[in-house]
Each structure stands twice: as C-alpha cells, then as structure tokens.
Amino acid sequence: MDRQANAAALRILLAGNPNSGKTSVFNWLAGAHQHVANYPGVTVEKKTATFVRAGRTIELMDLPGTYSLLAASPEEAIARDEILSGNAAVVVQVLDATNLERNLHLTAQLTEMGVPVTYALNMSDEAAAHGLTFDLELMSGLLGGPVIATNGNTGEGTDELLAAALRVAAGNPPCSGRVFYGTDLESAIAVVAERFEGDDAVSARRRAIALLDGLPDPHAPSGALEAAARETARLEKRGGRPLDVQIAETRYGFARGVAVEVARESSPHVRRASTLRLDDVLLHRVWGLPIFVALMWIVFNLVFALGEPPMRWIEASLEWLAGRIAVAWPAGAAPLLRSLLIDGAIGGVGGVVSFLPNILLLFLAIAFLEDTGYMARVAFLMDRIMHKMGLHGKSFIPMLIGLGCTVPAILATRMLESKRDRFTTILVTPFVSCGARLTIYALLIPAFFAPRWRGWVLWGIYLTGILAAIAAARLLRGTVFRGANAPFVMELPPYRWPTWRSVAIHMWDRAWMYLRKAGTVILAISIVLWALGTFPRKQEFSGEETRLAEALEYSAIGRIGKWIEPAIRPLGFDWRVGTALVGAFAAKEVFVAQMGIVFSLGGDEVEADSLRSALRRHYTPLQGLAMLLFCLLSAPCVATIAATKRETDSWGWALGMLLGMTGVAWITTFVVYQVGVWLAWGVG
C-alpha cells in the first residue's frame, strides 16, 4: 500500500554520510528540475526536485550529510527530523563502497527505526579498481532493502535506483533489517517498549531504542521515560561506560559484520594504494604546505590570464549597448531616464557583470579541488598551524567556504563543538576574501599593476586575508576566548577524479547566484546610488569644463563623500572612493558599480573608455594598493553582520566585528599608504 496515496507528491529523501557521492546521485536523479532554498526557520540549505516518473509526481529532497541520527550539529538534526517525521515514502541511503563499514553505522540506525530504505551502493566501480566487489543479493537480505550499484560520475544505475525506491514506497518489499544488541540491552529495549502501549511493535521498539540512545521524544509517556532512565542506569553500571557508547559499539559491530560478509577482496594490496602514495606527497610535513601555496598561485594566475579575454568581450558588448542607446535616444527627450539607463543600470550593474568570467574560473578551480578530495587534506595540513594560532583545525573549513561567500561560511562554523572555537571562527572568517571581493580585485589589480604582477598581487591579497584571520584568532583566543584547544579528527575521503557535470553544476550555481544578485540587489542599490549622484541638481555652474564634476559634488552622494573625506584622506582616498566604500557595506560588488556610476556621471564616458583607464588617470598605484587593502580588511557586507548576530545571538558580537574590522582596515591602510608616500613608491 502506498504510504502517500493521498499526497500530491510522493516524497523521497536522499540521505548519507558526507563524501559518499550523495549530491552526484541527486544531480542525476533530479536533472534540470532541482532548486535550492532554505529549510523553514533556519539558514541551512536544502536541495529539492519535483518531477514525474512512472505516472507519479515525485518530490526528491537531498538531506544534509550526516554520520548518525544522534545529531551533533543543526544540519544533522534537520536530517534526523526529516527521516523520523514519517512524511517520506522512502529514504534512499547513498553508501560509499570504498568506505562501506563507516557508512553502515547510519544504516544500522535507519533499519531499526522502521524507515523504508533503498540503498545506493555508490562508487562501486572505484571499489572494484581497488580489488573490491560486493554480493548485492546478500547485502540486500542483511539490510532489509534493495541494494543498487550506482556510479555518480556517469549516472549508471540511477534509473534502477529510482525504480527500486518506488517499489519500496509501494510497500514491496517491506523493510526488515534489524540490529541485535545482545541479551541485556535487548531486555532493556523490551522493558521500555512495553510502556508505549498505543504503538505497534516496530514503532514501540524504535522509540525505546531512541530513548535509550539519547534521542529526544517529546511525546513519550512518563512511564517510558522513567523506564528508560532506570534501564540506562542499570546498563551503565554493569557495562562501566555510557549506554550510548555501548549502543554505538554494537552498531559498529553490525556494520563491520555486514561489510565483511558482503565484500569480496580480490587484491587486498591494491586497495587505497594510490591514495596513500598521493598522501605521502601532498600531506608531507615539509612539502605539503608549499604545494598548496603553489597551487593557489597557479589558480590566481589562471583567473586573470584566462578571464581577461572574455571579460573584455563583455565590457565591449556593454560599451556597444550603451553607445547604441545613446545614439538612438531622441535628443533632449527624458534626459534623466537616459542617464538612469546608461549611467545607473549599465554603468553600475554592467561593471559588476563584466567580472563574471573571473568568478566562474575561481569557483571552477575550488569545485575541482574540493571534488578531488584535496581540500579536506588542506584542512588537515593546516591543523598544526591553526592550533598554534589558537584556531581549531576544523576552522579552516569555514574559511575555505568563505572563499565563495562569508554568510554560509559563518553558518558552517556549527560543525565546531566548542563555543570558544565557534565564536572565534565566526569573528575572523570575514577576513578571508569572498567571491564578492574578487570583483573589486578584478577591477583594481589590472588598473594599477602590470600583467606579470597581477597573479602575484591577487595571491598576496588572499594570503594577507588568511594571515589577518589567523592573527585575529590568536588575539581573541589569548584574551576573551581563553581555553584549551579541542582535538582535531577529520575523515579524509579517497582521491577521486571529479565529474565535469558535478563541477559544472557547482560553478553554475555560483554564477547564477552572482547574476541574480547583480540583477536584483546590485541593480536596486545602483539605482539608489544613481539617484543620490543626480539629485539635488545645481542650476548654475562656474564653467562648462567643470559642469559635470560640480554637479556630482553638489549631489547627495557627493555631499556624503565630502563629509567622510577627512576620515579617509590619510588613507589616500578621495570622496569618490568614500562613496563607493559606503555602498560596499550593502554588498561588496557595489564598490565596482558605484565607481562606474561616479565616473559616468562625472564625465568619464565608460562607453568611450574603460573604468580601469579612468582609475589610472585619477589615482596612483599606491592608492590602488590602499583600496585593495581597505576592501580586504574592512567590515563585511550587511548580510554577514546579520548572520553573525544570528549565530552568536548577540548584536554585541556583530557590532564588535563591524567596528573591529573597520578599525583594523583603517590602521593597516594608513600605515601602508603613509610609508609608501614616505618612500615615494607608486605616487607618480
């Protein structure tokens, strides 16, 4: 009988450990139907897809990766609650065939919870290359659900997997796998289960195990809670260790037993040999970090070298579009609307969009390195340095995520168990350059530095941000967050050659987010900034030569810039840069948009000359370096401040980050600029 006969869509949950290839399987099953949102009430990302297959409307949901239903993080809690809610027709667990025993711990929990499960034995081709094959029929019998071999790289087996899941959803075959916990624990489970009088045998057993394992059950009767407490105390006294540890040991025993039974190892010496050989080099105590630094240097050089031609094509297209509009516009007709379209929209948003190739290339490189398994090893490599500087080894993972966007990076600090580690990482992660800042670098670096230096400067800027984060962490852990560091334990996935499909999806997701932001948030802010740069309008001017410049200075944005200019003049900035920095607080990309608007309204026609050329005429290389440093170290965007307030539950920490980073940026930029002036570097 279909569990969701009355539902509009049959819900299938995709669950599994991190690094099991779950997302690749989801991409093949979902195809072009997937979309990304947040779970209601929380800022944890979820992927869903709705499509029709075999006459049924299917809602497929990709759950956050989890090792256990005993949630250690908000993401794992979401996965647990979705699985145990009873709203899904079937759960598809993706198993990593190259690390089967570890993955089967979650399987042990799923089978005893009475959840209908179908299993995707993913990466079985990879396991075969290591000399491992599996008896799928035997495995299916032991686990109580169909097991389908899949390949996340090619999509092989995904159609069969979906068909098997639909059969299980229809109640054929039922889930029958179960872990045997030994005489004493089984007796305790039976005692607690008896207190759930209105439940059937499967449900009562599930809820009893959950209580004994420490899972919350707000609807459990008081008799069950009291029985669970008595049995827990009895078993812990007899076993000499916590009951949840005893239960976990039994589950791992089940996982080990299943893995041994179903695996056929033909060449034991081949298994993981290539991974170990690569780790000998890439995790070397001496050469590991230099290799990582060299790889990043190559990435940053490629970002400029390969991104320059398409960036210029986009710029040329935008200049052509602005020119065509200017020529076609009737003389004297609606000049404000013409200015809004050319100077506000094209001059602002167009300047941001032109850097899309650089963004794509950086995210391509990051996605490639993540999918190969190398980025997990970078976190492992950085552990020694992070501990010396007061950060937890896992803190490097949010910092890596921060290369894309600081907001999800701050959310990723939930993986840190210690409040000290979590708060420290939240406060220092914004120093790491996000993708939005890359648009600023892509504007300023080519404007002020020769081609042979551009990769070096970009590499130096990113490295400076990481060093600033580490220095700030050291300061915080030595003062307000004193305490011992927690040990660092992290699973290193095997090396895999990433699929271009997976890399392309990651890259497209980031590109679409960037373009959507440019077409909504950046466009809206650009229009506001254009209006501030246009009104109020001065009727009389001292002369034709200064007409546009005087009009801009007379406008609201000019007055704001003039008002803050005394505070930023020691940094080498004028009022134009000041207005761009104000706009960048809303979104970092607005710095580029505002500079484009300012120079368009100020008479430097962007359709006749590039914004970078205008910057070169008005500022020196030293001032360009000062802008880079200030944009790197200054306060993050307003969304990051909001995320910090949410994760720390305190406006004090959020405002402290805002003021602290602004202070660090001002002092650092002041020192660098004034020393540069004293040395007469780049001031000509």
Is residue 39's pLDDT more than 60?
A: no
Question: Cα–Cα distance between 503 and 348 in angstroms, integer?
Answer: 30
Average pLDDT over residues 276-302: 83
Tell me whether residue 255 is in a domain.
no
Tell me the range of 195-199, 200-204, 342-346 where mean pLDDT is highest.
Answer: 195-199
Q: 444 pLDDT band (50/70/90 cuts)? A: very high
Interior/surface letters 636-652, b for 16+ CB within 10 angstroms, e for the rest: bbebbbebbbebbeeee
DSSP 3-state assignment of 81? helix
Question: Cα–Cα distance between 378 and 403 in angstroms, integer?
Answer: 14
21 and 115 part of one domain: yes
Q: Which residue has the higher pLDDT, 397 or 571?
A: 571
Asked whether 429 and 400 are in contact (CB, 8 A), the reply is: no
Q: Whole domain around residue 136: which residue ranges?
A: 10-169
Is residue 545's pLDDT more than 70?
A: no
CA dihedral 595, 597, 603, 608 (to 10 degrees): 90
Q: In sequence order, what DSSP letters do the residues of 341-392 get, joined into one string?
A: IIIIIIIIIHHHHTTHHHHHHHHHHHHHHHHTTHHHHHHHHHHHHHHHTT--
pLDDT tens per residue, range 82-117: 887 878 899 999 999 988 888 998 988 888 777 789
Tell me whether residue 246 is in a domain.
no
Q: Which pLDDT score is estimated for 44?
A: 55
Phi/psi for 45 (5° steps) reads -75, 140
Greatest alpha-carbon pair distance for the chain in Å reads: 97
Q: Is the dihedral of CA 80, 84, 86, 91 positive or negative?
A: positive
Q: Which pLDDT score is estimated for 604?
A: 45
Average pLDDT over residues 163-167: 92
Q: 48 pLDDT band (50/70/90 cuts)? A: confident
Reported as half-sphere exposure (CB side, CA atoms, 13 A), residue 338 has a value of 14
Q: Which pLDDT score is estimated for 91?
A: 94
Q: Could you report how far apart the first and last alpha carbons of the chain are, in Å?
A: 81
Residues 6+ away with beta carbon under 8 Å from 152: 21, 24, 25, 28, 122, 123, 499, 502
Average pLDDT over residues 362-381: 78
pLDDT tens per residue, range 516-537: 766 777 777 778 877 877 788 7
Tell me whether residue 335 is in a domain.
yes
Q: Which pLDDT score is estimated for 173?
A: 52
Q: Which of 169, 193, 227 is the last residue of a domain?
A: 169
Q: 178 pLDDT band (50/70/90 cuts)? A: low
Residue entry with tokens 């205008």? 614
Q: Which of 115, 144, 169 is the last residue of a domain?
A: 169
Question: Cα–Cα distance between 191 and 189 in angstroms, integer?
Answer: 5
Instruction: For residue 520, give the DSSP letter.
Output: I
373 and 519 part of one domain: yes
For the ranges 12-21, 38-47, 273-282, the lowest mean pLDDT is seen at 38-47
Average pLDDT over residues 155-175: 83
Mean pLDDT of the chain, nearest integer: 80
Q: What percent of the chain has pLDDT over 90?
A: 19
234 and 309 part of one domain: no
673 and 570 part of one domain: yes
Is residue 153's pLDDT more than 50?
A: yes
Residue entry with tokens 């081949």? 270
Is residue 665's pLDDT more than 90?
A: yes
Average pLDDT over residues 304-317: 84
For the ranges 50-64, 468-482, 497-511, 666-680, the lowest mean pLDDT is seen at 497-511
Tell me whether residue 34 is in a domain.
yes
Residue entry with tokens 């929380």? 42
350 and 453 part of one domain: yes
CA dihedral 271, 272, 273, 279 (to 10 degrees): -170
Q: Count CB atoms within 10 A of the CB of residue 426.
A: 26
Tell me the range of 31-35, 209-213, 412-416, 650-654 where mean pLDDT is highest.
Answer: 650-654
Reported as half-sphere exposure (CB side, CA atoms, 13 A), residue 284 has a value of 11
355 and 409 part of one domain: yes
Average pLDDT over residues 414-433: 84
Q: Which pLDDT score is estimated for 177?
A: 55
pLDDT tens per residue, range 615-632: 988 999 999 999 999 999
Q: Are strands 117-122 and 90-96 parallel, antiparallel or unpaired?
A: parallel
Asked whether 66 and 106 are in contact (CB, 8 A), the reply is: yes
Q: Which pLDDT score is estimated for 623?
A: 95
Element (H, E) at 21: none
- The domain tally of the chain equals 3
Q: State the burial class of residue 8 (Cβ atoms within 10 Å of its Cβ: 0-12, 13-18, 19+).
A: exposed
Structure tokens at 140: 């299916």
Q: Which of 145, 169, 193 is the last residue of a domain?
A: 169
DSSP 3-state assignment of 62? strand
Q: 73 pLDDT band (50/70/90 cuts)? A: low
Is residue 607's pLDDT more than 50?
A: no
Residues 6+ away with beta carbon under 8 Å from 66: 15, 16, 17, 18, 75, 76, 79, 80, 106
**Side chain identity, residue 628:** L
149 and 189 part of one domain: no
Please choose, from the candidates 258, 464, 506, 272, the residue with its C-alpha nearest in 3D space to the C-alpha of residue 370.
Answer: 506
Q: How far lies 286's CA from each of 369, 380, 398, in Å?
A: 21, 14, 25
Q: Which pLDDT score is estimated for 163?
A: 92
| CATH number of the domain bearing residue 89 | 3.40.50.300
Q: 548 pLDDT band (50/70/90 cuts)? A: low
Question: Cα–Cα distance between 27 and 526 in angstroms, integer?
Answer: 36
Phi/psi for 265 (5° steps) reads -100, 105
Element (H, E) at 27: helix 22-30
Asked whether 122 and 26 are in contact (CB, 8 A), the reply is: no
155 and 225 part of one domain: no
Tell me whether residue 579 is in a domain.
yes
Q: How far lies 166's CA from each of 80, 84, 116, 172, in Å?
A: 22, 19, 11, 9
Please choose, from the candidates 466, 434, 295, 455, the residue with its C-alpha nearest in 3D space to the C-alpha of residue 374.
Answer: 295
Global pTM value: 0.59
Q: What percent of the chain has pLDDT over 70?
A: 85
Is residue 563's pLDDT more than 50?
A: yes
Please choose, from the candidates 301, 310, 346, 277, the residue with its C-alpha nearest in 3D space to the C-alpha of residue 523.
Answer: 346
Q: Count CB atoms within 10 A of the CB of residue 194.
A: 13
Q: Which residue has the higher pLDDT, 338 or 226?
A: 226
Tell me whether residue 89 is in a domain.
yes
Structure tokens at 220: 């459990």
Structure tokens at 41: 């009430």
Tell me whether residue 489 is in a domain.
no
Tell me whether residue 122 is in a domain.
yes
Q: In sequence order, what DSSP letters do the residues of 144-182 get, joined into one string?
A: TS-EEEE-TTT-TTHHHHHHHHHHHHTTSSPP-------
663 and 575 part of one domain: yes
Q: Which pLDDT score is estimated for 4?
A: 42
160 and 231 part of one domain: no
370 and 446 part of one domain: yes
**Backbone torsion region of residue 114, taken as left when φ is above 0, otherwise alpha when ψ lies between -120 and 50, otherwise beta:** left
Asked whether 462 and 296 are in contact (CB, 8 A), the reply is: yes
149 and 40 part of one domain: yes
